[in-house]
Amino acid sequence: MLGNVPARGACNAMTENKPFDFTRDLDLGVIGYSGLKQTGGVISEEWHSKLRGQYGPKVYREMSDGSSAIGAIQFVIESLVRGVEWRAEPADDTEEAKLQAAFVEECIEDMSQTWEDFISEVLSFLAYGWSYFEIVYKVRRGLDAEDSTLRSQYDDGKIGWRKFALRAQDSLDRWEFDPADNGLVGMHQVDYTTGRTAFIPIEKSLLFRTRTAKDNPEGRSIFRNAVNDYFYLKRISEIEAIGIERDMTGLVTMEVPIALLHPSASGSDLALRGSLEKMLGELKRDERDFALIPTELNPDGSPTGYKLKLLSTGGSRQIDTNAVKTYYRTSIFQSVIAQFLQLGVTGVGSFALASTATNLFAVALGTFIDTICSTFNRFAVSRLMSLNGVPPELWPYLVHGDLESQPLDEIGRYVTALATAGQLPEDEALQNKLLEIAKLPIPDSESKPEYKEPEEAKKKRKRHEHTNKRRIAAPLRQLGLPGSEK
């Protein structure tokens, strides 16, 4: 069976009847490949030709800036994530580990950009599928350092972060891959306005991706499934706007003598025709307040062939464009589980449905925040610790708080139920956590009054404990085991 086939090195060792030696016989090389479709660093995994290469970022930029639905989704995401608490946790409870955690938080606060702005730029990987940052370091030389790149709130000579500089998705020229194992080496960047180029190695970078299928550095946009819906909605809205304009203003038309439209018209007739066409165009664009044309009738009453009028449309349409637009807008929301944004707008929905939808959205968004945390810990924190000579067992790690706070009434009912059942421990940490959730001040341990359990709750707790004791003692008495005393 294939599962029983030993490694190539192991086969050689077994054939020669020699003991297997990992350092000598184990094949540490890479044999296969991920299957990523790329040529010269240009990835062609996208089947849609208008989303490949440099076209993809342009389309997603248009969707982000041109769609109110996608704009609402991005606004909600950024607002929620900006409100998340981030902190560095020590590797253990030792003083040295706590100092390293404090050092990471110092570096975050000491950057030339705020942490919230950095997270906001990281979130661009949701729309584009990926975001690439260059890690810019500095030596902490205090606020009085002459070199602005070395200025810091601290003067301890340690290496810190100066900033995490976004390398825009639309500046990507190509990727660089290692031919030996197909691993990512870095990003080639180009400024299409100035022609400047740069190569940012992966060792000095952070790459955030929504997906890692085939180890594709470009991931996959969360709006990929909404591309068709966006363009259909855009086109229908444009057609609807044109129809509304024609219903309200009509279509400017002008009758002219047939000689002006004849293929063999004279030069003067062609010039007159050109002047009339220009005038009609200016009327349509509101660049002209009047039209100067010949009279419709000659002095003898015969028609001159000139007549200016407005054509109006024939009233209502057979297709309800509002329903069609709502369908495509809902499809966009559903592609990222954000249909709760339409609750109340369409006149349907319930509180239970809204609660379920928002919970699903929060869970999905929480997975992306976890991705940000894990990527930052593995490639930013670890490199910073290594540069400062900190042993791996003391490396701290970044964690994030809850994405959304639980309703206080739900927490209150749960705590009340626990207290009634006699299961609420008299624990200071629990009380402080409840005060923190409610955003109430936490008293100092020295000045905090001693907790006194309400008399009614105390009686219920003792009755509950007595009942549990009897339930446990009954089978013990039957077995004649200790603890069965009445």
Cα 169 from Cα 227, distance rounded (Å): 18
pLDDT for position 208: 97
Q: Average pLDDT, stretch 373-395?
A: 96
Percent of the chain with pLDDT over 90: 46
CB 396 within 8 A of CB 101: yes
Q: What is the mean pLDDT of residues 224-253?
A: 87
Place of tokens 């626990």: 418
Count of helices and strands (H, E) across the chain? 15, 12
Q: For residue 473, name the pLDDT band (cuts at 50, 70, 90).
A: low
pLDDT at 391 (0 to 100): 96
122 within 8 A of 372, measured Cβ to Cβ:
yes
CB distance 313 to 247 below 8 Å: yes
Angle of helix 227-249 relative to helix 55-66, nearest 10 degrees, comes to: 50
Of 54 and 385, the structure prediction assigns the larger pLDDT to 385
Dihedral sign, Cα of residue 230, residue 232, residue 238, residue 244: negative
Q: Please, are residues 233 and 321 in contact by the beta-carbon 8 Å criterion?
A: no
pLDDT above 60: residue 479? no
Mean pLDDT value of segment 466-476: 60
Distances (CA, A) of 182 to 31, 42, 98, 177, 204: 11, 13, 39, 6, 19
Among 30, 28, 9, 31, which residue's Cα sits nearest to residue 20? 9
- Kindly state the tokens that stand for 402: 């809850």
Residue 168 has pLDDT above 80, yes or no: yes
Q: DSSP labels for 1-60?
A: -GGGPPPHHHHHHHHTT----HHHH---S--S-----EETTEE---SSGGGSTTHHHHHH
DSSP lists the bridge partners of residue 311 as 251
Contacts by 165-170 with C-beta closer than 8 Å and gap 24+?
165/133, 165/134, 165/136, 166/121, 166/124, 166/131, 166/132, 166/133, 167/132, 167/133, 167/134, 167/200, 167/205, 169/57, 169/60, 169/124, 169/128, 169/130, 169/131, 169/132, 170/54, 170/57, 170/58, 170/61
Q: Does residue 10 carry a pLDDT above 50? A: no
Confidence tier at 11 by pLDDT (50, 70, 90): very low
Distances (CA, A) of 108 to 164, 381, 422: 10, 11, 44
Query: Would the pLDDT of 254 be above 90?
Result: no
pLDDT classification of 162: cutoffs 50, 70, 90 = very high
> Which two three-digit tokens encode residue 293?
């044309």
Burial 85-99, CB ≥16 within 10 A → b, else e: ebebebbeeeeebbe
Above 50 in pLDDT, residue 333? Answer: yes
> What percentage of the chain exceeds 70 in pLDDT?
82
Q: Is the pLDDT of residue 21 over 50?
A: yes
pLDDT mean across residues, the chain: 83
C-beta atoms surrounding 336 within 10 Å: 22
CB 304 within 8 A of CB 295: yes
- The residue-averaged pLDDT of 199-225 equals 95
Residue 349 has pLDDT above 60, yes or no: no
SS3 273: helix
| Predicted pLDDT at 72 | 94
Question: Which range, 180-194, 330-344, 421-435, has the best average confidence (pLDDT)?
Answer: 180-194
pLDDT at 4: 47
Distance between CA atoms of residues 338 and 335, nearest Å: 8
pLDDT reported for residue 282: 80
What span, in angstroms and rounded, lies between the C-alpha atoms of 122 and 86? 14
Instruction: Name, in order, each residue with C-beta under 8 angstroms of 202's C-beta and a sequence gap of 6 or more.
Output: 184, 185, 186, 187
Contact 123, 210 (CB under 8 A): no
User: What is the tens place of the pLDDT at every residue in 147-159?
Assistant: 888 999 999 999 9
Report pLDDT for 1: 42
Model pLDDT, residue 9: 45
What's the pLDDT tens digit per position in 63-122? 999 999 999 999 999 999 998 999 999 999 999 999 999 999 999 999 999 999 999 999
pLDDT over 70 at 43, yes or no: yes
Confidence of residue 3 (pLDDT cuts 50, 70, 90): very low
Tens-digit pLDDT profile for residues 276-322: 888 888 877 677 777 778 888 888 888 888 888 877 666 566 788 88
Nearest CA to 175 out of 136, 192, 183, 221 is that of 183
pLDDT of residue 226: 95
Rounded Cα distance between 456 and 176, Å, is 71
Contact 313, 214 (CB under 8 A): no
Q: State how far the Cα of 105 lies from the Cα of 178, in Å rounded to an integer.
A: 34
Residue 305 DSSP one-character state: S
CB atoms within 10 A of CB 73: 25
3-state SS assignment for residue 251: strand
Domain ranges of the chain: 1-31, 39-223+336-404, 251-311, 418-479
* 130-134, 144-148, 163-167, 286-290, range with the lowest pLDDT: 286-290
Query: Is pLDDT above 70 for 481?
Result: no
- Give 474's pLDDT tier (boundaries 50, 70, 90): low
* CA–CA separation, 394 and 364 (whole Å): 31
Specify the range with the lowest mean pLDDT, choosing from 53-67, 141-155, 293-307, 349-363.
349-363
